[in-house]
Chain A
């Protein structure tokens, strides 16, 4: 029988439903694993062990009583420390929020609990989910960055401390660390999951992200959390499909649009370019239809637009604290806030207008295929703990609000994971996840960090 820490969300939930695995045993095994590896990896800010075991015991009783089965009953989930948790500190790994204890759960946390999940604890984030590196270490090689800002969430999933964790993405904060740690990362369409009760970076960009080990698990968590929330002004009133069932309608070989020309390949290292070509060839050989697709002209300003919007909105949120406590901010965040304060208001509004145009144009490109295919990052995780890496391949999609998913696809010469990224039209996560799952199965990889497998 598989070790508990190797189980995916779907496997663990299935074993607990069938009585093969008790929620208290599962939670206990994961807590032991955290005890063993946390000193090396520094993935967690807060863990309430008693609450974890108490919640697991409650789920055990529910299962024993034969109540209605929920999709995540007994599954522990890590939460980036920007998600409000009633009665538990939410520090955003900052000095400003160091003692903040919310009185309510974020909507997405409430929904996870309603799906039967257990809150495993609060995972390390870079300060206020921006770009000053966190103390978390990459389990593949502790001298390489784990990425950010969802660093603790990604490390915890990669090292088998929990099967799933929540992150967030304003630039590249979910899909980049997913790639750097060899796991699956999903950034849904902007507005698909409520941001109510999430410490903001930038209101019009922030998206709740999902970090797991399989594409199917990404669909499970999306199912649990998706839906309109009147408390979130950016929440979308789009119907929520049965993702798992609907994905089966897209289980055949997909039509993939390879973004070989321009931005993504131009910015990649030769190794990443060759790897992505090899992945595309492998998927083609397995039956996928590969076509070359070009980015629209309006994409050219997308990266700059993202930086402008993020920095200005970030400055607006932090302005009341920053006025009196600027010295308590990390240097990169401080620089971003200061830049945001200097950008003219007219430039901010022009950026918002440009964003609308390239969202329209990218959507039209995405609709030509089941999913767009590109490298996940320009290079594998850098051997540098003073950076969180390069978000260049995520930021344009976050800015456009289109959904993306990263799937592990190999190992680099440096021994670090490589990944590919898929993107689709807004609110077409069913097609996106269906295509990504087909590719995941065609690649047939099971990447685990050697020292933590």
Chain B
């Protein structure tokens, strides 16, 4: 099985989310909701840097 060593950066992820939020809701939104964007970025990084085993399929209805 190919190796799987993710290394996702919090800063890069936050910047991506900032750009997306600005495109959707404008620069003012980004300034007012920085805490929210930082939290979202932390979730994305948490998952992205702890990927499941290659064989694992999604859970959905468990």
State the A residues within 8 Å of B (CB).
190-191, 204, 233-234, 300-301, 304-305, 307-308, 335, 338-339, 341-344, 347, 349-357, 359, 401, 426
Contacts and interface: CB of A to CB of B under 8 A. Distances in A.
Given A308-B43, A353-B51, 4 more contacts: A204-B61, A338-B33, A341-B24, A355-B62
B51 A350 contact: yes
Q: Which 3 A-B pairs have the closest CB atoms?
A: A352-B58, A356-B59, A353-B52
A359 B53 CA distance: 14
Interface residues on B, range: 20 to 34
Contact of B62 (A308, A350, A351, A401): A401
Interface string B1-28: 0000000000000000100110011000
Contact of A301 (B20, B37, B50, B53): B50
Nearest to B51: A350
B33 A353 contact: no
A343 B17 CA distance: 8
Contacts of A204: 59-62
A343 B62 contact: no
Contacts of B57: 353, 356
15 contacts: A234-B61, A304-B43, A304-B46, A308-B44, A335-B36, A338-B33, A341-B24, A342-B20, A342-B40, A347-B48, A353-B51, A354-B47, A354-B51, A356-B62, A401-B62
B59 A308 contact: no
Contact of A233 (B39, B48, B59, B61): B61
B37 to A, nearest CB: 8
Contact of A338 (B36, B42, B43, B56): B36
> Residue among B33, B37, B40 with the most chain A CB within 10 A?
B40
Given A338-B25, A349-B58, A304 B42 contact: yes
B21 A342 contact: yes
Contacts of A341: 24
Given A300-B50, A301-B47, A350-B51, A339 B40 contact: yes
Contacts, number: 84
Contacts of B20: 342
A344 B44 contact: yes
A339 B36 contact: yes
A350 B52 contact: yes
> Residue among A301, A341, A342, A359 with the most chain B CB within 10 A?
A342
A234 B59 CA distance: 11
A343 B44 contact: yes
B52 A357 contact: yes
B56 A357 contact: yes
A350 B47 contact: yes
A307 B40 CA distance: 9
A338 B46 CA distance: 19
Contacts of B39: 339
A355 B61 CA distance: 11
B47 A308 contact: yes
Given A335-B33, A338-B25, A191 B62 contact: yes
B33 to A, nearest CB: 7
Contact of B47 (A233, A305, A401): A305
A353 B25 CA distance: 30
B13 to A, nearest CB: 9
Contact of B61 (A191, A307, A338, A342): A191
Given A301-B50, A335-B33, A356 B58 contact: yes
Contacts of A342: 17, 20-21, 24, 37, 40
A304 B40 contact: no
Given A191-B62, A353-B58, A354-B52, A343 B33 contact: no
A354 B6 CA distance: 15
Contacts of A357: 52-53, 56
B49 to A, nearest CB: 9
A204 B60 CA distance: 6
A261 B58 CA distance: 29
B43 A352 contact: no
Nearest to A349: B58
A424 B6 CA distance: 33
A350 B56 CA distance: 9
> Residue among B20, B37, B48, B61 with the most chain A CB within 10 A?
B61
A306 B35 CA distance: 19
B59 A350 contact: no
